[in-house]
Amino acid sequence: MPPSTLDNSAVDYSVYLVTGRELLPPGVDYYASLELCLSQHNVSVVQIREKDAETNEFLDIARRSLEICDRYGVPMLINDNLSVCLSLPERVGLHIGQEDIPVAEARRILGDKRLLGISVKTVEQARVAREEGKADYAGVGPCYGTLSKAGITEDKVIGCSGAQRIVAELNRDGARVPCVLIGGLNQKTAARTLFGATSATNAPDGIAVISAIVSRTDSDKAAQELADIVRTYKAGLAASATPTSTHGIASAFALPSPSPHDASHYKTAAANLLAFHRQAAHGPPLIQAITSHVSSTMSANLALAFSASPIMSHEAAEAADLSLALGALVLNIGTISPAARDGMHAAGTAANRNRKPVVLDPVGGGATQFRRDVVRALLDRTQVTLLKGNAAELASIAGRADEVSSRGVDSGSGQLSDPVGMVRALAQKERCLVLLSGKTDYLTDGTTVLTSENGHPLLGAITGSGCALGVTVAAGLAAACNLVRSQGSAAESLGNTLVAHGHVDLLVGALTGLLAMTIASEKAARRDDVKGPGTFIPALQDELAAVSAEDILQFAKINVVSS
């Protein structure tokens, strides 16, 4: 016999299934699908959602569903129907939205024994839920668009960063509300979203899914895949001293970072990766760059010189198809327009879905409110792999704009008081690599900070060199992924999340793209035929095409600042 009530404090929210009969494959019985997905004990909570059923039909479905849930010891809740919930044993809980009955009133009617959940879409709603203390858990979302709610438009999607802020708010002042992420979570988006929503103070307890299980004929396998992803995520957190350690951040990219090393290690690793990248056998990685039309030609030419294949497509309609073939994606807001912005959102979502590295270059990101809003929306809706910018651009995102002013797309007056601390904190906050470009370049994964003194002042005398650097860094990230894939047994698929066991990681990939560009600039500037900016541009393209592993070993001027 199942217990009459539930221990609400002991509920495991890892894989939270919300039912949706309308999403079942043709010919699949709802009850058979539910039992199948519970059969291997990979679903930990079930919510019965029946938006169109009459009360009596809903109650009948709920009773039959409860029999199945009880067989496997899985807690069950009712979505947004208080009368159906009250008609069932006290071990059955209720989930409500912000537009439904107030949570305090729901708790008064339900009593203290039933499990009660609340949907939260904003930091303010999370604060209220935490301070009231009436809900046992919160559903945080929508993280992405979803098949179950056609009315969710782009402006209502909170993305990874939005989820991170809400999750952080649910654990403050000694009070914590457990939470699950919801909205577009599936086998391709779950890992990135879990890690992207993790903050220094709190982490999601699980994921809520509908179509990722319900729409599959093999619902047991679908549940297994999701459970594996959540278990891997939680193991990563458990292995870390804090949620923001290197392990956690790297896992957001699905490529774990190795232990920190000295500068010679990174120099050698970058040289080896460049040698691999230059090989013709695996073909040049396709780099999609949604970038400034001012620098588009230069970026494309330098991508070709760096053994990558550029495609400068801004079109949202082809983003999903393109993403399947991409090595990496570059989002550059230099000449941002509504159409380009829509293309960036579509391309970023597709890249996350297909586990492709994403480089965000927030050109002039702190110069105007419009640009700040564009950057924030991109970070909210896309799990960025690397955030690249100058001091003013990154200071704006980090909340330190008072230290460095923007002058159009360039840094203006002022300088960062602690660039190492800023890039590390920003990497931890945004769950990504950060590259601060300038006279000294700073590259970090949130723990290890590398500096590079390579580069020539002529890079600052031509238009588009910074945009082109974003493309070469993206190609380096793609090369790191290609190397892992080429190792065969050194990489395995776990719930559609690539887990690498090799010693080359994305930090090295980014470093390779950075060093190739900056060393090439030094070699170009030394040429006798270079008289100034005009002759420097073709020389830079030539030298980037020729830069080699030996050049990195000989000329790289890097240092490990912090480990």
Specify the amino acid at residue 232. T
Angle at 541 between CA 540 and CA 547, to 5 degrees: 80
Closest CA to 207 of 221, 218, 196: 196
The H or E element that residue 525 is part of is: helix 506-525
Residue 467 known to be catalytic: yes
- Chain length of the chain: 563
The H or E element that residue 162 is part of is: helix 159-169
CA distance 445 to 195: 14
The DSSP annotation for 142-161 comes to: -SS-BTTBTT--GGG--HHH
Specify the amino acid at residue 552. I
The angle that helices 506-525 and 465-486 make with each other, rounded to 10 degrees, is: 130
CA distance 142 to 120: 9
Residue 238 structure tokens: 């458990």
CA distance 331 to 381: 13
Closest CA to 144 of 156, 132, 127, 134: 156
Supply φ then ψ for residue 492, to 5 degrees: -135, 155
CA distance 237 to 399: 27
Q: Which of 37, 69, 179, 467 is catalytic?
A: 467
Q: Is 381 exposed, middle or buried (0-12, 13-18, 19+ CB in 10 A)?
A: buried
Give yes or no for a contact between 481 and 327, defined as CB atoms under 8 angstroms apart: yes
Angle at 285 between CA 283 and CA 290, to 5 degrees: 150
The H or E element that residue 96 is part of is: strand 92-96
CA distance 81 to 68: 20
Residue 20 structure tokens: 């949706």
Specify the amino acid at residue 547. V
CA distance 367 to 407: 7
Closest CA to 204 of 498, 431, 397, 47: 431
The DSSP annotation for 186-233 comes to: -TTTHHHHHHHT--SS----EEEESHHHHT-S-HHHHHHHHHHHHHHH
Helix (H, G, I), strand (E, B) or coil at 301: helix
Closest CA to 385 of 300, 267, 299, 481: 481
What pairs with residue 410 in β-bridges? 407
Please give the biggest Cα pair distance in the chain.
87
Q: Which residues are catalytic?
A: 467
